[in-house]
Amino acid sequence: MNEYLVLSKEVKEALAEGVPVVALESTIIAHGMPHPQNVETALAVEKVVRENEAVPATIAVIGGKIKVGLTCEEIEYLGEKGPEVIKVSRRDLPYVVAKGLDGATTVAATMFIAAMSGIKVFATGGIGGVHRGGEKSFDISADLQELARTNVAVVSAGVKSILDIGLTLEYLETYGVPVIGFGTDEFPAFYTRKSGYKVHITADTPAELARIIKVKWDLGLKGGVVVANPIPEEYSLDYEEITRAIDSAVLEAAEKGVRGKEVTPYLLAKVKDITGGKSLEANIQLVLNNARLAAKLAQELSKL
Ligand code: PSU
Ligand code: MN
């Protein structure tokens, strides 16, 4: 494995000593946010993880090496190159490594690499899911299959309504992925705390979350867990406004015939433009909030 995988010294030592580690993805840096907010956010997220006594491990492919624990310079490099960096999900990983290229890892690829490295907790903004019209287009993020098979707990603020939230939850149910609302019985919709869909489990403390996750894996139930952590009230956006922005972005993407891996980044950028950057501020705040919870969860898991 060492031929491909490079853990930073800090991450390697933390894992050897049982210090909690939180994995972080890089598609959000290169494709999810504009420069320079992407770099500022990635560094702020790492800081929040440290403040909560865990070690951050931002994951990406740099020059064909799968790196776990990027340096600040590497984060800046990815952030500056932005969409030029290949978006790497599970299927893209062999190619990017074989060719010695750079790659920004999605939730799916980051989960896979985290598990390979021995990291159990991962913080992000939102996971991918079943796109609207997915029953026809088959546009279903590889993140969902990864959650079905890879043992990593993913803390997110739910999924955006650029996706079909109902179908996404059905898919997760079919594949046996627990969806745990943190302090809520409603699945959050990223920018808003409400989506109109319930979660089937609620946990109110990081310790309670950790216990459920530990039991899952002790029982040999393979796969991940979605921890759905609602955006803090003070940063959440107006439901009507964000719904309008998303609806018009989805319509435009369909008209332009945007397909495949371009769909998610296209919609994210469009929604940001329509809301005049308000969605970006909410996005930044919810990622920080997720990093905080992930660090606490990693702490609790390390005690069990
Ligand atoms: N949702 C967001 N921001 C993001 C993504 C999703 O709100 O940056 C990124 C994540 O990296 C996620 C990926 O894993 O998009 C999903 O892409 P796709 O739908 O092509 O699988
Ligand atoms: Mn897709």
Digit-coded pLDDT (tens) for 43-101: 999 999 999 999 999 999 999 999 999 999 999 999 999 999 999 999 999 999 999 99
Q: Which residues does ligand 1 sit against, CB inside 6 Å?
A: 25, 27-28, 32, 89, 106-107, 125-126, 128, 141-143, 160, 261, 264, 268
pLDDT for the residue 278: 87
Check pLDDT > 80 for residue 14.
yes
On whether the CB atoms of residues 44 and 290 are closer than 8 A, the answer is no
CATH topology of domain 5-303: Indigoidine synthase fold (3.40.1790)
Give, as one character, the DSSP assignment of residue 86: E
Give, as one character, the DSSP assignment of residue 183: S
Question: Going by CA atoms, what residue is nearest to atom 7 of ligand 1?
Answer: 126
Phi-psi region of 18 (alpha: psi -120 to 50; beta: other; left: phi over 0): left
Instruction: Render 247-301 in DSSP notation, one character per residue.
Output: HHHHHHHHHHT--GGGHHHHHHHHHHHHTTTHHHHHHHHHHHHHHHHHHHHHHHH
From residue 66, alpha-carbon distances to 15, 101, 113, 233 in Å are: 17, 10, 8, 37
State yes or no: ipTM above 0.85: yes
Could you identify the atom of ligand 1 that is nearest to the CA of residue 105? Answer: 11
Q: What is the mean pLDDT of residues 172-180?
A: 98
